[in-house]
Chain A
Amino acid sequence: MGTGTYLDLLLSGLVVTLKTSLLAWIIALISGCVIGVMRTLPSRTASWIGFGYVEFFRNMPLLVQLFLWFFVLPELLPKSAGLWLKQLPNAPFWTAAIGIGFFMSARVAVQLQAGISSLPRGQKQAATALGLTTMQTYRYVLLPMAFRIILPPLTSEFLNTIKNTAVAITIGLVELTGEARSMQEFSFQVFEAFTAATVLYLIVNFIVATAMRFLERYVAIPGYIAGK
């Protein structure tokens, strides 16, 4: 095999990495947002549900969670549903995206909760006093500010999502690390394969970090200094 083919393999691994992490990130953002908001509501029940959710997904290794989704869940479902899951084409991809998505959602929730709590209490009161409902208060006043504040930590959580897709090689997802690993087994060109994979990860990191810095600058509010 020539070097061109190696690179093709690695690049196809990179595509799998990116696809998986994007889908996982969407899941993480949506459910993390719901849970993060729940934890800041005055309702005891809501904040307890949020707390339980976060503890559940944070206190087990990602690898174990992937095994639960991949090996255990199909067995616990009714037979036909379990069979359908097992025969799903591309099962490692869907499992990885969902598993990593929920794992990361707990982290997103924690960040968002911290962001909302860091806003002055008067903001919520001012919105309420104007007659906005709780939903409207979150939608128009609290969340736009909270997301701006937590943009930097969210960037690193997104980078973590990308890195965490490598864990899915344990359930047979052939992403970037997996491709490098399989080349080691077949070709003995370990050093080259790992180096190339490493460089690709560094490039992805650089692009994401740069893009997020642009986004931060784009949504920055004139005159506003964070933490003031």
Chain B
Amino acid sequence: MIGNFDFDVIRRALPYLFFEGMRFTLTLTALAAFGGLVFGTLIALMRLSGYRLLGRVAGIYVDFMRSLPLVLVIFWFYFLVPYIGQWLTGASRPITVGAFASSLITFIMFEAAYFSEIMRAGIQSISRGQPAAANALGLTYSQTMRYVVLPQAFRNMLPVLLTQTIVLFQDTSLVYVLSITDFLGAASKVAQRDGRLVEMYLFAAVVYFVICSAASFLVRRLQARIAIVR
């Protein structure tokens, strides 16, 4: 089998794999990470707000999302988003939502749960003495947060947030179950069409591996630098 490994299949498919597939994957990752961060912050703030009900609602949402397989959540949203759209816009029938929009919403809602937990842990990792010391100096609550707690918390959680983004990048491959042409979807389509499963899947694996290894190497370096500063 190694003997008739066909590099040419890969070479011919390159433009399709990267300009169609990888572009989709990277766009989805970037937008989902951004949206997840925004909603994740909101959820974390709700949980730490001190309002019982708000905290409880946010907590249930996070636990719920984290109990379900991402694949099931992808199916759920693919099925539900048209109805939610209908409800939001007041249309008479379920609206049609593109595969990209549907998966973007899915990943934002799903990642928000994970991001919020990272941020909550980051904020709680600051020792209680720190806000106490800031209060003793006469800083208000918002000043304490702004100048003392959040800068330290952000530094603690930045590497974890980035690692979670690498996980997100890998997880976007699961849109395969909706037959969407992300990077893996593109590789799979070529593989099926040309009957070249070995070449295409090995190539996809190498590409993912190189990107993720490089990214996690950078995260480790960042982590080391932060550790020295501290």
- Residues of A at the B interface (CB closer than 8 Å) are 55-56, 58-65, 67-68, 71-72, 75-76, 159, 163-167, 169-170, 177, 180-181, 184, 190-191, 194, 197-198, 201-202, 205
Contact = CB atoms under 8 A, between A and B. Distances in A.
Contact of B68 (A67, A191, A201): A201
A167 B176 CA distance: 10
Nearest to A190: B79
A72 B5 CA distance: 12
Contacts of B69: 163-167, 177, 201
A78 to B, nearest CB: 9
A76 B170 contact: no
Interface of B: 1-2, 64, 67-72, 75-76, 79, 170-171, 173-174, 176-177, 184, 188, 197-198, 201-202, 204-205, 208-209, 212-213, 216
A198 B72 contact: yes
Contacts of A163: 67-70
A159 B65 CA distance: 13
A178 to B, nearest CB: 9
A75 B64 CA distance: 41
A93 to B, nearest CB: 17
A68 B202 contact: yes
B11 to A, nearest CB: 19
Contacts of A191: 79
Given A62-B170, A72-B198, A169-B177, A181 B205 contact: no
B208 A75 contact: no
A81 to B, nearest CB: 12
A170 B204 contact: no
Contact of A64 (B70, B71, B197, B208): B208
Contacts of A170: 176-177
A75 B198 contact: yes
Given A68-B205, A164-B69, A194-B75, A63 B212 contact: no
Contact of B212 (A59, A72, A180): A59
Nearest to B202: A72
A177 B71 contact: yes
A71 B208 contact: no
14 contacts: A61-B171, A64-B201, A64-B204, A64-B205, A64-B208, A67-B197, A68-B205, A75-B1, A163-B67, A169-B177, A170-B176, A194-B76, A197-B72, A201-B68
A64 B216 contact: no
Nearest to A67: B201
Contacts of B208: 59-61, 64
B67 A59 contact: no
Contacts of A180: 72, 75
Contacts of B70: 163, 166
Contact of A76 (B2, B171, B204): B2
A194 B83 CA distance: 15
A47 B142 CA distance: 46
A43 B57 CA distance: 50
Contact of A60 (B71, B72, B76, B205): B205
Nearest to A165: B69
A52 B30 CA distance: 28
In this complex, which of B1, B68, B72, B176 has the most chain A Cβ atoms within 10 angstroms of its Cβ?
A: B72
B170 A61 contact: yes
A42 to B, nearest CB: 21
Contacts of A75: 1, 197-198
Given A62-B170, A163-B69, A177-B69, A71 B198 contact: yes
Contacts of B1: 75-76
A190 B72 CA distance: 12
Most buried by A among B1, B67, B69, B188: B69
Candidate in A56, A64, A177, A202 with the most chain B CB atoms within 10 angstroms:
A64
Contact of A194 (B79, B174, B188, B197): B79
Contact of B197 (A65, A71, A164): A71
Given A64-B205, A198-B68, 18 more contacts: A59-B208, A60-B170, A60-B212, A61-B173, A61-B184, A63-B174, A65-B205, A67-B205, A72-B201, A75-B197, A159-B67, A163-B67, A163-B69, A164-B69, A177-B75, A184-B79, A190-B79, A198-B76
